[in-house]
Amino acid sequence: MLDLNRLKALHAVSVYGSVGAAAEALMVTPSAISQQLAKLERETGAVLIERNGRGVKLTDAAGLLAEHAERILALVETAEADFEALRGEVVGKLTMAAFPTAARGIVPRALTLLKRQHPDLDLLLYEREPERQIRELVRGDLDLAVLQDWLNRPMALPEGLSRTTLLDDVADVVVPADHPLVNAERVRLSDLAGDNWISSTPGTVCHDFLVFLFRSEEREPRIVCMADEYPTHLALVAEGHGCALIPRLGRGPLPEGVAVLPVQPPPVRRIYAVWRTDAARRPAIRAATDALRSATDALRPACSELPGG
């Protein structure tokens, strides 16, 4: 009989491409992965791994077995979810991830609620950018992801994932306190097309959205500073190095030397929880999404109120 843990090791090598990467994903040592594969070779009587330079590659037999392993692991997850649903108990291990702002502003409160209400639930949290979360969710490395996109530029989700909206998070422009438009009730981004801008790094959701907004008006933002933490953006704005588009959840306390200007039309970032549809019956998934909703309830007035609302 094939051992499930050995199939899991083979599947991880197939997905991640190396023994080392598979070990990191499964949080074991590379030696442990190699031992599992050696035992699986003895069980099957087939060669599964071949040396390929400094690494390894899967044989045709291993590729076939890895395909079956993927289906077997999916069936096991469904069976576990159904069994937990039958018992109605919030138990087992739940692996979550969130993008940095949510990991700081939403998830800590949700984890507190979960631990208080469901002490037998084993929680593990990672901070991840949205694209990586989606890949890990599809592969089964995560059970629940907290993602973001923008209302006029939504992120497509792969088939087999479900989601629920947690929060609409309005973004404002933060400018130096001596900016000529500092007394304006609201501004359009085109009013600031000639300014220097501070943004996150290319490839991130917020950087790409800022560029998208400007290009929608046939403009190009003049980005002079790039950093991935909003407090860094605020510090640069306070010293007069440019303007920044910052969602309210990520803004935090404002330093001296900056002013906040509402944008018209308001850019709105949507934050939501995502899980594999096959695991939706797990009570732990439902409990975690309920905790995330509770954590965002108190944030909604400050984050979602539109200018003039």
CATH number at residue 103: 3.40.190.10
167-179 mean pLDDT: 96
For residue 172, pLDDT over 60 is answered with: yes
pLDDT of res. 13:
83
Do both 174 and 48 map to the same domain? Answer: no
Record the tokens describing residue 268, joined without a space.
């709105």
Domain final position from 84, 106, 136: 84
Do both 187 and 71 map to the same domain? Answer: no
Distance CA(202)–CA(190), nearest Å, equals 21
How many CB atoms are closer than 10 A to CB 169?
27
Domain final position from 36, 61, 84: 84
pLDDT of res. 8:
82
pLDDT digits (tens, 9 = 90+) for 110-160: 999 999 999 989 999 999 988 889 988 888 889 999 999 988 788 888 888
Place of tokens 């692996």: 95
pLDDT of res. 165:
95
| 194 assigned to some structural domain | yes
Distance CA(114)–CA(93), nearest Å, equals 12
287-307 mean pLDDT: 89
pLDDT digits (tens, 9 = 90+) for 38-53: 888 888 888 887 877 6
Based on the number of CB atoms within 10 Å of its own CB, is 219 exposed (0-12), middle (13-18) or buried (19 or more)? middle
Do both 15 and 41 map to the same domain? Answer: yes
> Which domain covers residue 235, as residue numbers?
170-268
The count of domains in the chain is 3
Q: Are 287 and 90 in contact (CB under 8 A)?
A: yes
Based on the number of CB atoms within 10 Å of its own CB, is 54 exposed (0-12), middle (13-18) or buried (19 or more)? exposed
Distance CA(46)–CA(49), nearest Å, equals 9
| 308 assigned to some structural domain | no
Helix (H) or strand (E) holding 255: none
Distance CA(185)–CA(308), nearest Å, equals 9
| 245 assigned to some structural domain | yes
| 226 assigned to some structural domain | yes
Identify the CATH number of the domain in which residue 22 sits.
Answer: 1.10.10.10
pLDDT of res. 309:
46
pLDDT of res. 252:
85
Do both 154 and 277 map to the same domain? Answer: yes
161-188 mean pLDDT: 95
Do both 137 and 112 map to the same domain? Answer: yes
For residue 247, pLDDT over 50 is answered with: yes
pLDDT confidence band for 61 (50 / 70 / 90): confident
| 307 assigned to some structural domain | no
Do both 62 and 12 map to the same domain? Answer: yes
Do both 158 and 236 map to the same domain? Answer: no
Do both 9 and 63 map to the same domain? Answer: yes
Could you tell me the CA-to-CA distances from 209 to 89, 100, 134, 150 in Å, in that order?
Answer: 41, 17, 19, 8
For residue 85, pLDDT over 50 is answered with: yes
Do both 162 and 281 map to the same domain? Answer: yes
CA 2 and chain centroid, separation:
34
| Torsion angle of C-alpha atoms 208, 209, 211, 215, degrees rounded to 10 | 130
Do both 290 and 156 map to the same domain? Answer: yes
Record the tokens describing residue 127, joined without a space.
């901070």
pLDDT of res. 86:
55
Do both 180 and 214 map to the same domain? Answer: yes
Distance CA(279)–CA(22), nearest Å, equals 23
Record the tokens describing residue 280, joined without a space.
């939706």
pLDDT digits (tens, 9 = 90+) for 189-241: 989 999 999 999 998 888 999 999 999 888 999 999 999 899 999 999 999 99
* Percent of the chain with pLDDT strictly greater than 90: 51
For residue 303, pLDDT over 80 is answered with: yes
- Please tell me the least confidently modeled range out of 66-70, 106-110, 181-185: 66-70
| 305 assigned to some structural domain | no
Q: For the whole prediction, is pTM greater than 0.85?
A: no
| 281 assigned to some structural domain | yes
Torsion angles phi and psi, residue 203, rounded to 5: 95, -15
| 309 assigned to some structural domain | no
pLDDT confidence band for 105 (50 / 70 / 90): very high
Do both 287 and 162 map to the same domain? Answer: yes
pLDDT of res. 306:
67
